[in-house]
Amino acid sequence: MPADHGPGIRVPPPVQVGLLLLLGWLLQRQVPVPLGRPLPTVGTGLMALGLALSVWTVVFMLRAGTDPQPHRPDQALVERGPFRLSRNPIYLGFLLVAAGFACRWGDLWPWLAAVGAFLVLDRLAVAREERYLRQRFGAAYEAYLLRVRRWI
């Protein structure tokens, strides 16, 4: 059996999302396109919710004996805790944080960055992880796919 090298995600998803948010922030500073007044309270709430979801997921994965780093092989198929609600709760947390920044800034560019983050995560991380998990866990993962949505 060949060595298990994980799903092959080269650029860590938090870096992908962070770079897109940085780009949105820079564009907002240089060429603002206001969408309305900033909503700092709503934004902070979304950011806190996203951070809490991501931390809860990491803790749950570590307790299950699997490494949350997406470039590492998975040791267990985790189906409990936040994974009952979403197959990608960490990434969902990242997107909530991105939406929180967009609310705080009240500009088009951060919203476009959040949409870009969704697309990048969905195509570059989630799709690779799903192919890998199908191969790694077979029928158990296929059954999980039928029970739990990709995002929410």
Domain boundaries, the chain: 39-67+78-137
CB 63, CB 83: distance < 8 Å:
no
95-115 pLDDT per residue, tens:
999 999 999 999 999 999 999
pLDDT of residue 3: 64
Nearest-5° angle of CA 113, CA 118, CA 120?
Answer: 90
Chain mean pLDDT for the chain:
95
Distance CA 42, CA 21 (A): 17
Give the mean pLDDT of 49-72. Answer: 94
Q: What percent of the chain has pLDDT over 90?
A: 89
Question: Does residue 12 surpass a pLDDT of 60?
Answer: yes
Distance of CA 19 to the CA centre of its chain: 14
